[in-house]
Structure 1
Amino acid sequence: MLKKFFILCSGSDTDILDHCSNGEQNKYAGIGATVFFTALMATIAASYALFTVFDNPYMSIGFGFIWGLLIFNLDRFIVSTIKKRGRFTDELIQAAPRLILAIIIAVVISKPLELKIFEKEINQVLLEQKNDLTLANKAQIAQQFTPAQTDLQNDIATLQSQIETKEAEVNALYTTYITEAEGTAGTQRLGKGPVYKEKRDKHDAALAELQQLKQSNIEKIAGIESQLVQLHIEYSTKVASTQPIIDGFDGLMARVNALNTLPLLPSLFIFLLFLAIETSPIFAKLLSPKAEYDYKLEDAETAIKTWVEQKVNERKTLLQTDMAINNKVYHDIAEEDELYQYKRKKARALMQLQADVFFNHQKNAL
């Protein structure tokens, strides 16, 4: 039962192969088994590849099964259409387009399995890429908030500078009236005289202005700091909203690109393995000698071809003979005087009728 199934997979003519030797049947059963297991691997590969896209096992398996049937049909067609012609050059030319198609199929099948085999290494590459994207994303978003943040920080620095300048002025006035009282500067008179009182009043007025300036600027700084906090919240919110996009950066294309960054040799060996599996039925038919099945198949095909050519030649001969007979018959009839007189009578009647019609038409026109 299994042998018949694999023979069916090979695309061979079972009616002919049933009358061939057991060895010939085993050869085509092996070719059919290769076609079947290649389609099975294509189903697995396509299912995994589609799972990375849809993230739905049922949909992935369904589409993977359809893809496997497509690959099975293509391989079966490729193998069944290669005919043994007796000359290897002719057979190679015949198989060349099918070999190209087999190479394409091998690439399509091997790539998803490479993604699964090197999944851990690919995940590591994707993690590094995600980290780089996260840092780049934060830096790019920060550029949107940096100008406003810099302006606010400059405003704070300006307000603090105003306070520091006023404090320096008050401290200088304090030193002035203290040294005046001590008699070490100014009038150099010890005691609190009129000059001391004037300098003390000036200091007290500046101190009052300093306290008012501090209160005003501290309120302004608090408002600016709240704006900075709001900017930071907006920055964090935007980073958090864009991070899921980066976390989802593990689709099929991203994994293929990550696979391409890994060493080439392991992937090449896997591709060559599937290329060998995919092309093995073709090379098996190319390299195998012309055997019993090929002769019987050629006999059946040439018998049909000969029968068709015979029917076509018979129809051509029949047509030529019929045309020759018809030409001779009409030539003999044309020489009969009775037919001539009859045709002459009918032609005269037709001309008379045309003349009468023309006369009546002209008469009505007048």
Structure 2
Amino acid sequence: MLKQFFIICSGADTDILNSCSKGEQNKYAGIGATVFFTALMAFIAASYALHTVFDNYYTSVFFGLIWGLLIFNLDRYIVSTIKKTGNFADEVIQATPRIILAVIIAVVISKPLELKIFEKEIDRVLLEQKNEYTLANKNQIAEQYTPQIQKLEQSIANLQNDLTTKETEVNALYNTYISEAEGTAGTKLLGKGPVYKEKRDKHDAALAELQQLKIDNTEKIKAIETEIATLKNDYDNQVTTSQPIISNFDGLMARVDALGQLPWLPSFFIFMLFLAIETSPIFAKLLSPKGAYDFKLENEETAIRTNVLQNKNQREALLKTEFAINDRVYKDIETEDELYNYKRKKARELLQLQVDAFFNQQKNIL
């Protein structure tokens, strides 16, 4: 049962192969087994690759099954269409496009399996890339907010400097009127005279301005600090929003790119393994001698070809003969008076009918 299934997988004509030896049947069963297991590997590889895309087992298995059946059909077609002609050069030319197709299939099958085999190494590369992207993302977002924050912080510093300058001025006026009262500066008269009162009034006015300036600048500073807090909150929100995009940066293309950053030799040997598996049925047919199955298949094909050519030639000869007979028949009756008189009579009747019809039509018009 299993042997018969593999023979069907090989694309061989089961009716012809059943009449061949056991060795011939085993050869094609081996070819069919290679085709089947290659399609099975294609199914597994495609399911894994699609799982990295859809992240759903049922969808991945469904489309992976379709891909496996497609590869099975292609491999079966490739193997079954290689005919043993007895001329090795002709067979190689015949197999060349099929070998190219087999190489493409081997690449498609091997790449997803490489991704699974080197999954841990790829995860490490992806982690490094994610960290780099995270830092770069934060820097890019910071470039949008940092200039505004720095400008607002500078405004706060300017307001605080205004307060400091005003406090310095008020302290200086305070020292001036105290020194005047103590007689250590100014008029150097001890006591609170008119000059002291003038300087005290000037200090008090400046002190009132300082108090008002503190109130005004404090409100301005609070408003600016609120604006800075809003900008920083927006920055944090944008970083938080964009981080899942970076965290999910592990799709199929990202993994293929990460695989390319790993040493190439292990991947190359895996590819060569699948290339050998994929092309082995083709080379098995090319290198194997022409067997009983090939002779019987050729016998049936040439018999059908000969029959078709015979039928075609016979129909052409029949058609040619028919033309010749028709030419002779019409040439013979061309000179018969009886046929001439009959046709002349019918032509006269036809003309009379035409004249009568024309007359009646004109009469109706008038």
- Give the TM-score range, shorter chain: over 0.9
Q: Deviations over 1:106-148 (max 9, x none)?
A: 1111111111111111111211221122222222222332343
Q: CA deviation at 1:177?
A: 3.1
Structure 1 residues 208 and 338, CA gap change in structure 2 (3 angstroms): closer
C-alpha change, 1:169 and 1:325, in structure 2 (3 Å) is same
What residue in structure 1 maps to residue 79 of structure 2?
79
Equivalence for 1:331: 331
1:133 aligned residue:
133
1:16 maps to a residue whose letter is I
Residue in 1 that maps onto 2:40: 40
Q: What is the SS of the residue equivalent to 1:12?
A: coil
TM-score (norm 1): 0.93
1:182 CA drift (Å): 4.7
The CA distance in 2 between the partners of 1:198 and 1:66, in whole Å, is: 101
Residues 227 and 352 of structure 1: CA distance in aligned 2, closer, same or farther (over 3 Å): closer
RMSD between superposed Cα atoms in Å: 2.1
Bigger CA drift: 67-76 or 227-236? 227-236
Q: Which moved more, 1:254-263 or 1:354-363?
A: 354-363
Q: Any residues of structure 2 matched to 1:21-36 within 5 Å, and which?
A: 21-36=21-36
Q: Scaled by the length of structure 2, what TM-score is found?
A: 0.93
- Residue 172 (structure 2) aligns with: 172
Cα distance in structure 1, aligned partners of 2:223 and 2:333 = 122
* Closer, same or farther: CA 356–204 of 1 in aligned 2, 3 Å: closer
For residues 19 and 89 of structure 2, the distance between their equivalents in structure 1, rounded to whole angstroms, comes to 29
1:164 maps to a residue whose letter is: T
Residue 256 (structure 2) aligns with: 256
Structure 1 partner of 2:229: 229
Question: Structure 1 residue 281 and structure 2 residue 287: aligned?
Answer: no
Structure 1 residues 360 and 195: CA distance shift in structure 2, 3 A? closer
- CA–CA separation in structure 2 for the residues paired with 1:182 and 1:365: 146
- Runs of 4+ in structure 1 over 6 Å off: none
Aligned to 1:347: 347
Over residues 256-280 of structure 1, what are the superposed CA-to-partner deviations in whole Å (9 max), with x where a residue is unaligned? 2222222222222222221111111
Percent identity, aligned pairs only?
73
**CA distance in structure 2 between the partners assigned to 1:156 and 1:68 by the alignment:** 68
Deviation at 1:156, TM superposition (A): 0.7
Cα distance, 1:189 vs structure 2: 4.2
In structure 1, distance between residues paired with 2:275 and 2:231:
58
Deviation at 1:29, TM superposition (A): 1.1
Q: Secondary structure at the match of 2:187?
A: coil
| 1:107 paired residue number | 107
The answer for the alignment partner of 1:266 in structure 2 is 266
Residues 1:306 and 2:309 aligned together: no
How do 1:101-250 and structure 2 match up within 5 A? Answer: 101-190=101-190, 192-250=192-250
Stretch deviating more after TM superposition (295-304 or 170-179): 170-179
What residue is the counterpart of 2:291 in the other structure? 291
1:55 is matched by which residue type in structure 2?
A: D
Deviation at 1:199, TM superposition (A): 2.7
Greater shift, 222-231 or 303-312, is seen at 222-231
Q: Distance in 1 between matches of 2:320 and 2:314?
A: 10
Deviation at 1:181, TM superposition (A): 4.4
Q: 1:183 offset after TM fit, Å?
A: 4.2
Deviates more, 1:98-107 or 1:37-46: 98-107
Distance 2:79 2:30 in 1: 12
Q: 1: distance between equivalents of 2:9 and 2:84?
A: 19
Q: 2-side partners of 1:225 and 1:349: how far apart? A: 117
- Write the deviation string for residues 259-313 of structure 1: whole angstroms up to 9, x where unpaired: 2222222222222221111111111111222221111110011011111111111
State the alpha-carbon separation in 2 of the partners of residues 18 and 138 from structure 1: 71
User: Following the alignment from structure 2 to structure 1, what is the Cα–Cα distance between the partners of residues 192 and 356?
Assistant: 157
Distance 2:356 2:215 in 1: 129
- Further displaced range: 95-104 or 299-308: 95-104
5+ residue gaps in structure 1? none
- Which amino acid in structure 2 is aligned with residue 66 of structure 1? I
State how many pairs are aligned: 366
Cα distance in 2, alignment partners of residues 344 and 196 from structure 1:
156
The 3-state SS of whatever aligns with 2:305 is helix
